[in-house]
Amino acid sequence: MLDGRRPLIAAFLLGVLTMTAVTQLTMTPKTSLGRRKATQERAFVLNVGLTFRSQGVADGFIKEWAKAADYCLANEDFLFAYELAQSDQDPLRYLITERYRSKADYLGAHRSSSAFKVMRCPRAACASARAPLPCPRAPCHAC
């Protein structure tokens, strides 16, 4: 009685297995940016602390940094996170967290990108906008 239905049962089971595999591959947890979350990788993380002299200087830097962040997130597949956070205790203190697939990716492709070169010094980032900002660090290595 089942002999005539074996191909149908086999096709059904193959379909179930296929859907299970597709679900597992596409349902991987993702960040709000759509990037795959990972727990097993040995990523390279860089945290950069900034303290600004005024909110106006901070706002100018944030505007320029956002442009660089958009570029990096769109063009650097090895960049897992590039985030700016403001301190809850001092509104002039910020922390940039950068997470890369490896330190080699950070030192190589990222550091040679046009976005990195522009943002290396906040004054350089703002020069293109023709509104130079005072450097948020005193003294800055490049200002």
| Mean pLDDT across 53-61 | 92
Are residues 93 and 82 in contact, defined by beta-carbon separation less than 8 angstroms? no
11-20, 48-57, 97-106, 113-122: lowest mean pLDDT where?
113-122
**Cα–Cα dist 119/71, whole Å:** 12
Residues 54 and 90 in one domain: yes
| CATH code, domain with 67 | 3.30.70.100
Structural domain total, the chain = 2
Label the pairing between strands 93-100 and 44-51: antiparallel
For 2-11, the pLDDT digits (tens) are 667 777 777 8
For 64-86, the pLDDT digits (tens) are 888 888 888 888 888 888 899 99
CA-based nearest residue to 80, from 101, 105, 110: 101
CA-based nearest residue to 101, from 30, 26, 46: 46
Residues 1 and 64 in one domain: no
**Cα–Cα dist 59/53, whole Å:** 11
pTM: 0.59
